[in-house]
Amino acid sequence: MVKPNVLILGGVGFIGRNLVQFLVEKALCDHIRVVDKVLPTTAFLGKKHADAFAKVEYMQGNLTSPASITKCFTLDGGRKFNYVFNLAGETKYGQTDAVYNEKIFDVTVKCATEAAKVGVDKFIEVSTAQVYESKKKASKEGDKIDAWTLIAKYKFNAENKLKEIAGLNYVILRPAVVYGPGDVSGVSPRIITGAVYKFLDEKMEFLWGGDLKVNTVHVNDVCKAIWHVALGAPKGAVFNLADKGDTDQAKINKCLEKVFAIKTGFHGSIVSNLAQLNLKAVCEQANNKHLKPWSDLCKQKGILNTPLTPYIDQELLSNNHLAVDGTAIEATGFKYDYPELTEAGIREEIEYFQAQNLFPAI
C-alpha cells in the first residue's frame, strides 16, 4: 500500500506537534511537510516532539500570503499532498475582529481554495466546539450554533465557506478543551493558577459553580481522530471530539487539589453574578493577583523564560458552558483512548514542561 503525503498547516503548535509525533511514530506517511511561521527550535518542543520533527520537512510560511501558500502546497516530482490538516490560525484570545478575520477566516479559506485547486484528496479543518450555544446539555453536531468566543465565530464562518469551494473534499472536527503534552491555553492556565495558590499558600476559588461544564479531550485522541477522518469520513462530515468524563470545574479542581495539595472552591452565584456586571475589572484583578506570584515563583526556581502564564482572557471567564457530545464519531469505528481528565493527565502536562525547565518543581 502506498503511504500518503501530508501537509500540516500550523504544525508547530500544540495539536500540530502531537500530530507530527503520532504520524512519525506510527510510520503512517511517505512524506510529511510542516508549515508554520514559528521555528521549531524556538517553540519549546519536548524531546519526543523534537525527535519527530527531525524526521519531517519543516517549511516556514506566511499563510496570509497567496504566494507563500502556493509554495507550501507544491511538491516536486509531480507529486501532490493527499491530506492537508489545517491547524493554522490565531489561537490567542482577546484579539480584534480584524485579526481573527485575517488569521483564521482568510487563512482557512485561502488554504482550502489552494487545496481544491491542486486536487488534494481531503482537507481536514480543526475547528472548535465553542461554536455551540452555551448550555449544560451536551451539544450534538446539528445543535444550535451561537459562538461565544471570537475565535469560534471566525472558525464557524470559515466552516461555512468551505461548503462553497468547488471540488473541495473536506471534513470538520470540533474538539472540546484540548489538553495534553504542550498545552498552553486549554487546561494549562488552571494548572498554573493552582501552582500559584500553592506558592501563596491560599485557597483557590473560581467564579461560578463547580457544575460549569468544561468538557475536555486529550490531544492524542484529537490526533487519532484527525487521521481517522482523513482515511474514511465522507465529504462535508462534521464531528465533535469530547471524552466521556463530562468534565466540569469541580472535576478539574479535584485533580488540582491532589496534584498541589491545595484547597479549592467556588465563589457561588451571588458573588459571580456581581462579578458579571463588571467582568473586565474582575478579570484584570484576577490576572494581577496571579501574574506576579507566578513570575516570582519561576524566578525563585531559576526559570527566566517560559511560554506558560496564568493569564486568562475575559471571554473565558464568562459563565459559558462547554458541553459537547463526542459520541457520533464512534459510530464510524473511532475509539477514545483517554476516557476522562485525571490527575495523571494534569501531571503529564506539568512534566512535559518541567523536563524543559519551563514549569517550577513545587
pLDDT digits (tens, 9 = 90+) for 113-150: 999 999 999 999 999 999 999 999 999 999 999 999 99
Report pLDDT for 77.
86
Question: Quick check: is 119 in a domain?
Answer: yes
Q: How many CB atoms lie within 10 A of CB 361?
A: 9
Q: What pLDDT is recorded for position 299? A: 97
Question: How many structural domains are present in the chain?
Answer: 2
pLDDT tens-digit profile of 176-201?
A: 999 999 999 999 999 999 999 999 99
C-alpha cell at 338: 483517554
Question: Cβ(216)–Cβ(243) under 8 Å?
Answer: yes
Residues 139 and 54 in one domain: yes
pLDDT score at 15: 98
Q: Which of 245, 192, 238, 194 is nearest to 217 (CA)?
A: 245
CB 230 within 8 Å of CB 124: yes
Kindly tell me if the per-residue pLDDT of 152 is higher than 80.
Answer: yes
Average pLDDT in the 47-72 region? 96
Say if residue 252 is in the same domain as residue 105: no
Does 222 lie in the same domain as 311?
Answer: no
Verify that 350 and 329 share a domain, yes or no. no
Give me the count of residues in the chain. 362
pLDDT at 317: 82
In this structure, are strands 170-175 and 204-206 parallel, antiparallel, or unpaired?
unpaired
Are 71 and 199 in the same domain?
no
199 found inside a domain: yes
Q: Report the pLDDT value the prediction gives residue 274, as an integer from 0 to 100.
A: 82
- Among 309, 3, 326, 359, residue whose Cα is nearest residue 178: 326
Which amino acid is located at 335 in the chain? K
Quote the cell numbers at residue 240.
465533535
Domain of residue 90 covers 5-179+215-246+325-338
Q: How confident is the model at residue 154 (pLDDT cuts 50, 70, 90)?
A: very high
pLDDT at residue 314, rounded to an integer? 87
Residue 140 is assigned to a structural domain of this protein: yes
**pLDDT at 273 (0 to 100):** 81
**Does residue 225 belong to any structural domain of this protein?**
yes
- Give CA–CA dist 311/290, Å, rounded: 8
| pTM across the whole model | 0.96
What share of the chain in percent tops pLDDT 70? 100
Q: Residue 360: inside a domain, yes or no?
A: no
Same domain, 31 and 167: yes
Q: Write the CATH number for 148.
A: 3.40.50.720
pLDDT-derived band at 315 (thresholds 50, 70, 90) equals confident
Residues 303, 298: Cα–Cα separation, whole Å: 5
In the chain, the percentage of residues whose pLDDT exceeds 90 is 91
Number of CB atoms found within 10 A of residue 97's CB: 11
For the segment 44-49, the average pLDDT, to the nearest whole number, is: 98
The pLDDT tens digits of the residues spanning 81-121 come to: 999 999 999 999 999 999 999 999 999 999 999 999 999 99
Q: Are residues 144 and 273 in the same domain?
A: no
Asked whether residue 208 is assigned to any structural domain, the reply reads yes
Tell me the average pLDDT across 5-12. 98
pLDDT digits (tens, 9 = 90+) for 227-280: 999 999 999 999 999 999 999 999 999 999 999 999 999 987 778 888 788 888
What pLDDT is stored for residue 269 in this prediction? 78
Looking at the structure, do residues 227 and 315 belong to the same domain, yes or no? no
Residues 118 and 53 grouped into a single domain: yes
* Look-up of cell digits 504544525: 11
Nearest 5°: the CA angle 112, 118, 119 is: 85
Residues 26 and 170 in one domain: yes
Per-residue pLDDT at 158: 98
Mean of pLDDT over the chain: 96
In a domain, 362, yes or no: no
In a domain, 361, yes or no: no
pLDDT band at 19 (very low <50, low <70, confident <90, very high): very high
Residues 222, 115, single domain; the answer is yes
Average pLDDT over residues 335-362: 97
Q: Are residues 234 and 314 in the same domain?
A: no
